[in-house]
Every structure is written in C-alpha cells, then in structure tokens.
Amino acid sequence: MNSKKNIYVIQKHYSKNLHYDLRLEIKDILKSWAIPKKPPVKKGVKRLAIQTENHSIDYADFEDVSSEEPYGTDSVEIWDKGTYETYENKKDKILIHINGKKLVGNYCLIRLRGQKKNWLFFKY
C-alpha cells in the first residue's frame, strides 16, 4: 500500500442532470469520474462512474453555489472531502481506502470490459 495520503473529493454538480464528480489526486492532477447517482456508502451498491477530463489540484476546493433555490444550472458544492490511500493502481482497476466524512473504507474503481470511459465504483 502506498503510504502517501492523496486528496479525495466528491463535488455535487447541478447541471442539466444532477451528478457527482469523484476526483482523486494521482500524479499531481485530479483524475475525475462523473457518477450519475449518489455515491455508494454501503457495500454491495455499485455505481457507474464515467471518466472525464483531468483537473488541476486547485480544483479540489472549488465550489460555485447559486443563491437561487433550487440550485441553478452548473452549481457545484463539495459533497465529501478527505484523503485516500492507494492499495492498487492498474490500467483497469484502482483499489483505495477513502478517509472522507461520508465515504469511509475500501473502494474499487474497475473499468468495464471493452469500455474506454465507463467504470464501476463501489465499496468492498
């Protein structure tokens, strides 16, 4: 296991469709995945995670919340934040331990066979 604790953040993104952006610090950037449904807090719940463009580390603190209710288009708020440790980081599989406020424990990102951007994200 890599003993370095890296940045972990999930931003709740109110755009055309509400989704959650999972961001993991890997090699001085934030690797990013869009999760269409609420991230899994319990074992056995799997979520689609669609890999998106990388972001700079500075983006981990980004929030832009509309003052209008319900939240306006493209509002972003930090849903969970903390650190994570890597157990395994391969091309198609990432095993991590998340130390957030809402997500805590061992999580897996695994690329769907034959897919370029589609992954599953779940607690194990």
The answer, as to whether pTM is greater than 0.85, is yes
pLDDT digits (tens, 9 = 90+) for 4-57: 689 999 999 988 889 999 999 999 999 999 999 999 999 999 999 999 999 999
Which residues have a Cβ under 8 Å from the Cβ of 105 and sit 6 or more positions away?
A: 97, 98, 123
Q: For residue 89, which amino acid is it? A: N
Look at residue 16 in the predicted model and tell me its pLDDT. 81
Cβ 45 vs Cβ 33: under 8 Å: no
Closest-CA residue to 9 (of 121, 98, 124): 98
Q: What residue segments make up the domains of the chain, in order of their start?
A: 6-123
